[in-house]
């Protein structure tokens, strides 16, 4: 969730024509769909090789953040060139590796595959609702970004604390809050594209991808807590 700090781009604006905004939005959705392929591949490799265990604990989080911020820096530096898309797809493969620990844990339940598909379907549903809302809301919601970033800071601090405390109630609260905050971020990011505040489809894809991944992980964690069936 901390990666969200680097994806807050330019403020809302109306310099682009409607045709240009639609093109950015269309390209963003296509690249977002494509980015799911290396994510799934990375998750499969991670589960098979047990790589997800590398990103558990304090040192694991530091390693994850270092690699993730390195990728995001590279994406922002190459977003206006032909290199930007491969770098973004490399990042989504890495995110699949990172999620493999949670996915492997979920697959340990008797109904693990069903929980994963339910989380995927729920995330897709949230994206559909937020995208629909973004097209009908006419008011400027640019001020929402600052409040959402405050929420991300609180979530990050809470996650670090709960890593050492190991509270199930704490994880539950963090997961629920994460779903709410990053669902709102989907609305915010899509609205930015529609209003012309984001002109680069690679940056737009990165922002939406991070929103989706955070909602998916949080949903999967909740489903594991409440719906996981042991043999």
pLDDT digit of tens for each residue in the chain (231 aa)? 545 554 544 444 455 688 888 999 999 999 999 999 999 999 999 999 888 777 776 677 788 889 999 999 999 999 999 899 999 999 999 999 999 999 999 999 999 999 999 999 999 999 999 999 999 998 888 889 899 999 999 998 988 888 788 778 888 999 999 999 999 999 999 999 999 889 999 999 999 999 999 999 999 999 998 887 786
Asked if residues 46 and 100 have their Cβ atoms less than 8 Å apart, the reply is yes
* Coil/strand/helix, residue 12: coil
Domains identified in the chain, total number: 1
In a domain, 43, yes or no: yes
Please check whether residue 138 lies inside any domain of the structure. Answer: yes
- Phi and psi angles of residue 179, each rounded to the nearest 5 degrees, phi first: -60, -45
In a domain, 34, yes or no: yes
**pLDDT score for 227:** 85
| pLDDT value, residue 3 | 53
Using CA atoms, how far residue 172 sits from 45, 111, 167, 179, in Å, is: 28, 20, 9, 11
State both tokens at 77.
């530096």
Q: Where in the sequence is the domain holding 90, given as residue range(s)?
A: 12-226
Position 7 in a domain = no
Residue 8, pLDDT score: 47
CA distance 73 to 90: 13
> Is position 231 within any domain?
no
- Count of Cβ atoms closer than 10 Å to residue 196 Cβ: 18
Q: For residue 154, what are the contacts with CB-CB under 8 A and spacing of at least 6? A: 177
Residue 3 tokens, joined: 């990666």
CB neighbourhood size of 194 (10 A): 19
Evaluate whether residue 2 is within a structural domain. Answer: no
The closest of 199, 211, 206, 99 to 148, measured between CA atoms, is: 211
**Are the beta carbons of 145 and 8 closer than 8 angstroms?**
yes
Task: Tell me if 6 is assigned to some domain.
Answer: no
């Amino acid at each position: 969730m901390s990666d969200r700090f680097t994806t807050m781009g330019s403020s809302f604006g109306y310099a682009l024509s409607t045709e240009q905004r639609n093109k950015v939005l269309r390209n963003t959705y296509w690249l977002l769909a494509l980015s799911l392929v290396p994510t799934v591949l990375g998750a499969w490799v991670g589960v098979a090789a047990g790589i997800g265990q590398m990103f558990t604990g304090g040192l694991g989080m530091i390693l994850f953040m270092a690699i993730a911020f390195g990728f995001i820096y590279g994406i922002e530096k190459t977003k206006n060139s032909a290199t930007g898309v491969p770098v973004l797809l490399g990042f989504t493969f890495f995110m699949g590796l990172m999620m493999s620990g949670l996915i492997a844990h979920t697959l340990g339940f008797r109904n693990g595959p069903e929980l994963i598909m339910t989380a995927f379907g729920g995330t897709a549903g949230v994206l559909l609702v937020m995208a629909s809302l973004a097209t009908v809301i006419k008011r400027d919601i640019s001020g929402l970004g600052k409040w959402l970033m405050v929420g991300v800071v609180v979530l990050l601090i809470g996650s670090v604390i709960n890593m050492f405390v190991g509270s199930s109630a704490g994880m539950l609260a963090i997961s629920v809050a994460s779903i709410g905050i990053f669902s709102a971020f989907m609305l915010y990011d899509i609205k930015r594209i529609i209003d012309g505040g984001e002109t680069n489809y690679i940056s737009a894809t990165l922002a939406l991808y991070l929103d989706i991944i955070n909602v998916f992980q949080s949903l999967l964690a909740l489903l594991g807590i409440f719906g996981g069936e042991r043999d």
